[in-house]
Copies of this chain bind each other. A is one copy, B any other.
Amino acid sequence: MKKEITLGIDMGGTNTAFGFIDKDGNYLAEGNIPTSKHEDINDYLKELHLEIENVLDTIRDQVTLVGIGIGAPCGNYLKGTIEHASNLKWDGVIPFCDLIKEYYPNLPVFLTNDANAATIGEMIYGGAKGMKDFIMITLGTGVGSGFVSNGQLIYGHDGFAGEFGHIVVAPNGRQCGCGLHGCLETYVSATGVMRSAYKMMAKYNYPSELRAIPFYDMTSKIICDAALKGDLIAINTFKYTAKILGEALANIITITSPEAIFLTGGLSKAGDLLFGPTKEYLEMNVLKMFSNKVQLLPSQLTKNVAVYGAAALAWNEINKK
């Protein structure tokens, strides 16, 4: 008997990766194409379809493709659209599910934003297996999130729920790309940590190798490495980051009371530098009834998270039926 698989597509601003994954999480084949090469989305879709079929050819005799899941920036689950994604070349509201269906008219196609896809990936294949209430936070260039309650992802009334990166944690705080000030992601993303390093240079007198690095050349990894070597500016940067993240997590625990909070994305690789103090500040600020109840964990999906997530989205939807 042929093995049932879904196709997971992770569309990023630069690159689109995809993979074929079975129900048990076996990663059977993969491929990718550049996203930003094509001015016309139809040219992009043609190339994507061609590459998908090429890769599928290598396993076609062993598998049956039963669905397609897509994770995309500004993806709307309810409408199957990508809406006003600033890091894509194509403007406006793109009916992406419908466009994919033109190539695969007989398959169910599902789409959501990248953070939601990662959340479902964690639920189906990762550390949240069996959990009915958890939160996933992606700490990358920005901050994304997915909230699962009663075993279901919270999409909200318009399909855009879970924008934890844009809760305002400091009224009149840092300028955010979204137009607001003081959004969480201006503090606790990879970019936020960089900004905080310069704040710490301003605040403290400690000598630091970071003082030799111009803003444009800084990365969160440089700060992380410096902190591990005992650099006090870098250590205070992580402490400051953890304080703001811990306080924000304490607040959302109060709302959804999850079993666990998973952190993923580039900044989460800082490991104990981030997890230790974040957990500490979280516990310090959370309502007593939630004290020491919520686990703070790294994502257990370490490779191809977004592709896994997109494939998991398809599996999750197919299983609902």
Contacts and interface: CB of A to CB of B under 8 A. Distances in A.
Given A163-B287, A255-B255, A255-B256, 8 more contacts: A149-B152, A150-B155, A157-B257, A158-B289, A159-B257, A161-B256, A171-B285, A251-B251
Interface in A261-304: 285, 287-290, 293-294
Contacts of A167: 251, 254-255
Contacts of A132: 157
Interface residue SS majority, chain A: loop
A162 B255 contact: yes
6 contacts: A157-B257, A158-B289, A164-B254, A164-B255, A167-B251, A251-B251
Contact of A157 (B133, B154, B171, B250): B133
Nearest to A293: B158
Given A132-B157, A179-B288, A256 B147 contact: yes
A27 interface: no
A1 interface: no
Contact of A152 (B150, B160, B171): B150
B287 A166 contact: yes
A258 interface: yes
Interface string A178-191: 11100000000000
Interface residues of A, number: 44
Interface of A: 83, 131-133, 145, 147, 149-150, 152, 154-164, 166-168, 171, 178-180, 247, 250-252, 254-259, 285, 287-290, 293-294
A285 to B, nearest CB: 6
A258 B168 contact: no
A250 to B, nearest CB: 7
A178 B255 contact: no
Given A150-B154, A163-B254, A259-B157, A247 B287 contact: no
A289 B154 contact: no
Contacts of A159: 257
Contacts of A162: 255, 257
